[in-house]
Amino acid sequence: MTDKSIKELAVSVGLPVEKLLDQVREAGLPQTKAEDKISVEQQDRLVSHLKKVHGQDNGSAGKITLKRKTTSTAKVASTSGKAKTINVEVRKKHTFTKPDPEQIKAEALAKAAAENKAKAEVKVEVKAAPAEQKSQPVNNAKATLDAMRAAQNKETAKQEVSKAAVVVKRKSTNKPIVKQTVKATETAEQKKAREAQAAQLKAVEEAARRKAAEEAQQRTLEQMRQMASKYSNEDATATIRVVDDSPLAAGLVGQAYEDSFAKEDREIKRGTNTATARAPKKGGRRGQEEQSFSKQPKRGLKTSQGNKHGFEKPVKKQVYDVEIGSTIVVADLAQKMAIKVREVIKSLMKMGELVTQNQAIDQEIAALIVEEMGHNPVLVSDTQAEDNLLVAAEEARGAQTTRAPVVTIMGHVDHGKTSLLDRIRRTKVASGEAGGITQHIGAYHVTTDKGIITFLDTPGHAAFTSMRSRGAKATDIVVLVVAADDGVMPQTAEAIDHARAAGTPIIVAINKMDKESADPDRVLNELTTKEIVPEQWGGDVPVAMVSAHSGQGIDELLDLILIQAELLELKASEEGAAQGVVIEARVDNSRGAVTSILVQNGTLNVGDLVLAGASYGRVRAMTDENGQRIKSAGPSIPVEILGLPEAPMAGDEVLVVNDEKKAREVADARLSREREQRLERQSAMRLENLMASMGKKDVPVINVVLKTDVRGTLEALTVALNGLSTDEVGVRVIGSGVGAITESDVTLAESSEAVLLGFNVRADTTARQKSDADGIDIRYYSIIYELIDDVKAAMSGKLAPEHRETILGVAQVREVFHSSKFGAAAGCMVLEGVLHRNKPIRVLRDDVVVFQGELESLRRYKEVVEEVRAGMECGLAVKGYKDIKALDKIEVYDVQLIKRSL
Ligand code: GDP
């Protein structure tokens, strides 16, 4: 406080000048005008006058109640053995009263005086007691009792009189009265001196305490300001609001904030949380009361030892060994030390690191924090547990033998990758094996006279690179398909780059040799410009001239692959726990996660406990690429398994483990690692956005929510779509997944103004209703390039009128009958719209397209009809598709010419 004019003072206390002047007059001060100065002493007088006037009201003005709610999560093991996360909400209410400094001073003085007085009295009385005791035994007893009361302050006077009297009587001596009196006088003098000294001391202490409190407040306010600007924590902003309103409140709240940290600290040290802290305290007090009552047999209360609470304050602080990987999320770090996240954030702030609880921090910083908290940091490799498992599995394996090579076919679109894969499969897979429905499991193997070759049949570079980006090296050899009539094209060059980057040897297959326009020499020439020099020209790249159509050169190609494999000396063991890689995974409504795995080492058996990525489970069933049930699979054999609780990602490592606990440990570690990486990516993304919008305002971004039938396509499409972004228009896949489009996808698309794209999947009923109601456009595709072209066109704003399909009607198969004429006839119920006999149809299973074609027949009862409306039953047969099943859906659509908008 400094000298101020009345006007200034009025502004600083927020009162109208007239009102303040009235109060000044009432306080008997001389000022009458707004410009008059008011000194510090006068301000003090004014304050004490106001206090007198307002009496009790003043007390409550310095009172602030803070309510705080903190939510945290706790992990507990459920009965099923799985970890469950429970939200814990702790509500606290603190009332802080600002003590009047005068009052504090007075109280401190009174307290000091009382203490001294009590000491003096005890001395006087105890020492004097023997002298007076003979004549006034009861009085002496009372005096001693007072002393005892000062010390114990528990027992009732009446009861103690007799007890104390006995004590005093026993201790009585016959020392001279004079000496006692002198001693008493001396003590009285000392008492005065001590009082003065104590008062002085108190005053100094008080000043120091205030200074410290002020500094602490400043610090806290600064921290809170930083916190508020860093992230919007409700507590912090609420506090800041008060801070802005009034300096007094700021001080109090700042102190309160510090105090609450300190309080939490104490509670944590006691090994209890705030919610439970009260109970033991209460119990403790009750225990004490009962104990003191128990000294009063008259009241007839029994000793309550049996009721004593079980809480015991830990004598020593718990010191934990805190394991820290290369990064750790702040909240997890706090959990490992069993302290509040806020504590950790506070310490990080002191070190100049402003982070939120969901951010990951580096190993070194985390280690410093752990040390500061008094625990032991244990630095571990992120992959420690996995490495251990791998080593154990490796050790358990038997002798190594030669294994089949795994081949990926790459090349430019339309150069014949799919045709070549089909050709090899058709000619080489024994007809008996291929008898059933050929399944798409992402890979197949062929047996030749010279050996087995496994082909990964997810063509496309994106699948290859996304697998590689997950650290998986599934491919041993790349077969680069180049059309003899087309030559090296952009994706041919891209494929060469990918193969080189992965260090995978290349074999060139010049395809379409049956064509008249084929010009293999030109192709070879073009290849040399890409540093692919054919063997026949003195280089090291084997080349085969083939035709997927005529089958020419296929055997030579397979021979070349096997020779290359021999050079590579591919080895694996057939014994021991299997290890492999996820090729593809999808979720099937009736069977759960269906995962295609390429076994790379060891043997995979039905019943094995498999850890794939972050999920683990027992292999319930296993099929080969022909849909045949098998019991085991060795190295280089692709299989499809059931039994994992959720679909892992393509490229995830697969390992058979014999210890469920270890599997869980590694799965958990991988999950948290994924989470950390995701959070890192998210914050990076936020930053990028920030930069982008700073540098260039209003860069339009097309948000996409993408659902596909299999994971391979999802990854390929995501990479392709994200890669479309340019400086002027961005594309961002904000949500993606495998399986039908659900209500939550629609909600996501709606909230982020995204387009919803389905690749070979459909929206389920609720999603469709929601999208209709909200006007969200869902677009369905079954050709990758159409989808990408659409998004590209949308980006360039050149959406030309185009053919687009509308779904006219949907029917559900209720029962399937065998018909001599059609093979399989389906009894259906039309769910929506109208079923037309002459329009194109699709068969959907779990909202995923399984067949496209047309109807062979549509009937109501015996009659052939042109259309059937919703709510009616009908019988139908699909042309060329006999595998129809109950609950499949038949979708009739129409292709229209419309103006596009995305
Ligand atoms: P992908 O996009 O690389 O998978 O190419 P596809 O396998 O789908 O083939 C593209 C087109 O080339 C199709 O129309 C095939 O019929 C045709 N094709 C593929 N291989 C041959 C071949 O050896 N000879 C001829 N004449 N045409 C071929």
* Domain end residue (candidates: 332, 364, 380): 380
Tokens of 795: 């980006």
The reported pLDDT for the residue numbered 370 is 92
Please identify, by atom number, the ligand 1 atom nearest to the C-alpha of residue 422: 7
Average pLDDT over residues 350-375: 85
Q: Is 415 in the pocket of ligand 1 (CB under 6 A)?
A: yes
- Based on the fold, state whether residues 424 and 558 are members of the same structural domain: yes
The burial class, CB within 10 Å (0-12 / 13-18 / 19+), for 412 is buried
Q: Is the CB of 459 under 6 A from ligand 1?
A: yes
Picking from 542, 569, 596, the residue at the C-terminal end of a domain is: 569
Highest mean pLDDT among 281-285, 359-363, 717-721, 722-726: 717-721
Q: What is the pLDDT of residue 874?
A: 92
* 417 touches ligand 1 (CB under 6 Å): yes
Asked whether the predicted pLDDT for residue 397 surpasses 70, the reply is yes
Return the closest-CA partner of residue 716 out of 417, 407, 460.
460
Q: What is the pLDDT of residues 689-716, one digit of tens each?
A: 434 444 444 567 788 889 998 877 888 8
Place of tokens 């791998």: 390
State the angle between helix axes of 711-722 and 461-469 in degrees (0 to 180), rounded to the nearest 10: 90
Q: pLDDT tens, 27-75?
A: 888 888 888 888 888 888 888 887 777 654 444 445 666 667 777 777 7
CA of 443 to the centre of ligand 1 (A): 19
d(CA 236, CA 259): 14
pLDDT-derived band of residue 543, with 50, 70 and 90 as boundaries?
A: very high
Could you tell me if residue 147 is inside a domain? no
The confidence score (pLDDT) of residue 299 equals 45
Domains: count for the chain: 6
Beta strands in 471-591 (DSSP E): 477-483, 506-511, 543-545, 571-573, 579-588
Q: Is 234 in the pocket of ligand 1 (CB under 6 A)?
A: no
Does residue 632 sit in the same domain as residue 538?
A: no
Residues sharing a CB contact under 8 Å with residue 715, sequence separation 6 or more, in sequence order: 462, 463, 466, 649, 650
Distance 447 CA to ligand 1 centre (A): 24
- Say if residue 457 carries a ligand binding annotation: yes
417 is in an annotated binding site: yes
Residue 866 has pLDDT above 60, yes or no: yes
Q: Is 549 in the pocket of ligand 1 (CB under 6 A)?
A: yes
Is the C-beta atom of 422 inside 6 A of ligand 1?
A: no
Q: Is the CB of 552 under 6 A from ligand 1?
A: no
Is residue 835 within a helix (H) or strand (E), and if so which, with residue range? strand 823-836
What is the domain-level CATH number for residue 558? 3.40.50.300
Residues 770 and 848 in one domain: no
How remote is the CA of residue 710 from the centroid of ligand 1, in Å? 23
Q: What whole-number distance in Å separates Cα of residue 558 and Cα of residue 420?
A: 12
* Per-residue pLDDT at 352: 80
Q: Calculate mean pLDDT across residues 169-180.
A: 41
E-strand ranges in 335-450 read 360-362, 376-379, 400-402, 406-411, 443-448
Rounded-to-integer distance, Cα 407 and Cα 454, Å: 6
pLDDT of 16 strictly over 70: yes
Per-residue model confidence (pLDDT) at position 546: 95
Q: Given this model, what pLDDT does residue 100 score?
A: 61
416 Cβ below 6 A of ligand 1: yes
On the question of pLDDT at 736 being above 80, the answer is: yes
For residue 548, the ligand 1 atom closest to its alpha carbon is 23
Predicted TM-score (pTM) of this structure: 0.45
Structure tokens at 140: 């002496």
Pairing of strands 778-781, 754-759: parallel
Strands (E), 48-112: 63-77, 83-97
Q: Is 844 helix (H, G, I), strand (E, B) or coil?
A: strand
Phi, psi of 313, rounded to the nearest 5 degrees: -65, 125
pLDDT at 317 over 80: no
Instruction: Specify the pLDDT at position 501.
Output: 77
Cα 606 to middle of ligand 1, angstroms: 38
Three-state secondary-structure class, residue 534: strand
- Give the pLDDT of residue 483: 94
Say what the pLDDT of residue 888 is: 92
Tokens of 799: 């959406």
> Which atom belonging to ligand 1 lies closest to the Cα atom of 411?
3
Pocket perturbation via mutation, ligand 1, pick of 419, 424, 479, 546 by most ligand atoms within 8 A of CB: 419
Whether 553 lines ligand 1, by a CB cut-off of 6 Å, is no
Helix (H) / strand (E) element for 744: namely: helix 743-751
Measured torsion, CA atoms of residues 667, 672, 677, 680, in degrees rounded to the nearest 10: 170
In a domain, 585, yes or no: yes
784-796 and 711-722 helices, crossing angle to 10°: 20
Assigned domain for 386 exists: no
418 in a known ligand binding site: yes
User: Is residue 107 situated within a structural domain?
Assistant: no
Are 368 and 452 part of one and the same domain? no
Residue 784 is predicted with a pLDDT of 82
**Ligand 1 atom 24, closest CA:** 512
Q: Which residue has the higher pLDDT, 362 or 775?
A: 362
- Lowest-confidence range among 98-102, 177-181, 557-561, 657-661? 177-181
d(CA 73, CA 533): 61
Predicted local confidence at residue 312, as pLDDT? 66
Q: Is the dihedral of CA 5, 7, 12, 17 positive or negative?
A: positive
Which among 871, 841, 868 has a CA at the least distance from the CA of 856? 841
What is the whole-number distance in angstroms between the Cα of residue 418 and the centre of ligand 1?
A: 7
Q: Same structural domain for residues 411 and 523?
A: yes
Does one domain contain both 709 and 856? Answer: no
pLDDT of residue 472: 63
CB atoms under 10 Å from CB of 635, counted, come to 27
| Average pLDDT value for the chain | 74
What's the pLDDT tens digit per position in 869-902? 988 999 999 988 888 899 999 999 887 765 544 4
In a domain, 735, yes or no: yes
Give me the mean pLDDT over the 625-642 stretch.
90
Q: Is residue 548 in contact with ligand 1, taking CB distance under 6 Å?
A: yes
Q: Is the dihedral of CA 507, 512, 514, 517 positive or negative?
A: negative
Per-residue pLDDT tens for 335-347? 989 899 898 988 8
The answer to whether residue 201 sits within a structural domain is no
Closest residue by Cα to atom 18, ligand 1, is 416
pLDDT top residue among 26 and 270:
26
Atom of ligand 1 nearest to the CA of 515: 26
- Predicted pLDDT of residue 29: 85
491 CB within 6 A, ligand 1: no
- Residue 818 assigned to a binding site: no
**CA separation, residue 380 to residues 321, 322, 387, 711 (Å):** 11, 10, 12, 32
Torsion sign over Cα 211, 217, 218, 223? positive
Ligand 1 nearest-atom number relative to CA 546:
23
766 Cβ partners below 8 Å, 6+ apart?
742, 743
Residue 551 alpha carbon to ligand 1 centre in Å = 12
Q: Which atom of ligand 1 is nearest to the CA of 511?
A: 23
777 assigned binding-site residue? no
Does 411 show up as a binding residue in the annotation?
A: yes
Record the tokens describing residue 33, joined without a space. 């005008």
**pLDDT tier at 250 (50, 70, 90 boundaries)?**
very low
Q: Atom of ligand 1 at shortest distance to CA of 481?
A: 3
Distance, CA 416 to ligand 1 centroid (Å)?
4
More confident residue, 585 or 776: 585
In this prediction, residue 534 carries a pLDDT of 92
How sure is the predictor about 600, in pLDDT bands with cuts at 50, 70 and 90? very high
Instruction: Write down which residue in 549, 569, 589 finishes a domain.
Output: 569
Q: Is 413 annotated as a binding residue?
A: yes
Domain with residue 863: its CATH number is 2.40.30.10
CA of 141 to the centre of ligand 1 (A): 116
**Mean per-residue pLDDT for 125-138?**
43
Question: Any known ligand binding at 512?
Answer: yes
Q: pLDDT tens, 829-838?
A: 999 889 998 8
Q: Is residue 834 part of a domain?
A: yes
Helix (H) or strand (E) holding 511: strand 506-511
- Greater confidence (428 vs 240) lies with 428
Question: Token digits for 861?
Answer: 């009862």
**Atom nearest to 413 CA in ligand 1:** 2
User: Do 662 and 773 sit in the same domain of this protein?
Assistant: no
φ, ψ at 579 (rounded to 5°): -135, 145
**DSSP annotation of 574:** S
| pLDDT tens-digit map of 665-678 | 788 878 877 777 66
Q: Which of 117-131, 354-368, 535-549 has maximum average pLDDT?
A: 535-549
The predicted structure's pLDDT at residue 499: 82
The answer to whether 513 is annotated as binding is yes
Q: Which residues pair with 479 in a beta bridge?
A: 409, 507
Which residue do the tokens 């004598």 mark?
Answer: 315
Q: Does 445 carry a binding-site annotation?
A: no
Phi then psi for residue 758, to 5 deg, are: -115, 125
CA dihedral 163, 168, 170, 174 (to 10 degrees): -170
Q: For 797-815, how does the pLDDT look when each residue is reduced to its tens digit (9 = 90+)? A: 644 445 567 888 999 999 9
Cα 790 to ligand 1 centre (Å): 24
Establish if 722 belongs to a structural domain.
Answer: yes
pLDDT score, position 574: 87
458 annotated as belonging to a binding site for a ligand:
yes
Could you list the residue range(s) of the whole structural domain that residue 455 is in? 404-569
> Does 479 share its domain with 415?
yes
Residue 231 has pLDDT above 50, yes or no: no
Q: Can you point out the beta strands (E) in 719-822?
A: 730-738, 754-759, 778-781, 802-819
Claim to verify: residue 419 and residue 551 sit in the same structural domain: yes
**419 Cα: distance to centroid of ligand 1 (angstroms):** 5
pLDDT of 190: 67
Q: Is ligand 1 within 6 A of the CB of residue 783?
A: no
Q: Per the annotation, does 235 bind a ligand?
A: no
CB-CB neighbours of 426 under 10 Å: 13
Residues 418 and 536 in one domain: yes
Query: Ligand 1 test: best mutation among 414, 481, 492, most atoms within 8 Å of CB?
Result: 414
Assigned token pair, 503: 């260090």
Rounded CA-CA distance 154/288 in Å is 10
Q: How far apart are CA 267 and CA 275, in angstroms?
A: 10
Distance 94 CA to ligand 1 centre (A): 76
- Same domain, yes or no: 591 and 670: yes
Query: What's the gap in Å between 549 CA and the centre of ligand 1?
Result: 8
Q: Are residues 691 and 806 in the same domain?
A: no
Please report, rounded to a whole number, the percentage of residues in the chain having pLDDT higher than 90.
17
Judge if the beta carbon of residue 460 lies within 6 A of ligand 1. Answer: no
Is 419 a pocket residue for ligand 1 (Cβ < 6 Å)? yes
542 close to 563: Cβ distance less than 8 angstroms? yes
**Smallest CA separation from ligand 1 atom 17, residue:** 416
Ligand 1 centre distance from Cα of residue 412 (Å): 11
Is 414 annotated to bind a ligand? Reply is yes
Kindly state if the Cβ of 423 falls inside 6 Å of ligand 1: no
Is the model more confident about 721 or about 97? 721
Q: Degrees (nearest 5) of the Cα angle 139, 140, 141?
A: 90
Q: What is the mean pLDDT of residues 15-22?
A: 84
514 lines ligand 1 (CB under 6 A): yes
| Atom 20 (ligand 1) nearest CA | 416
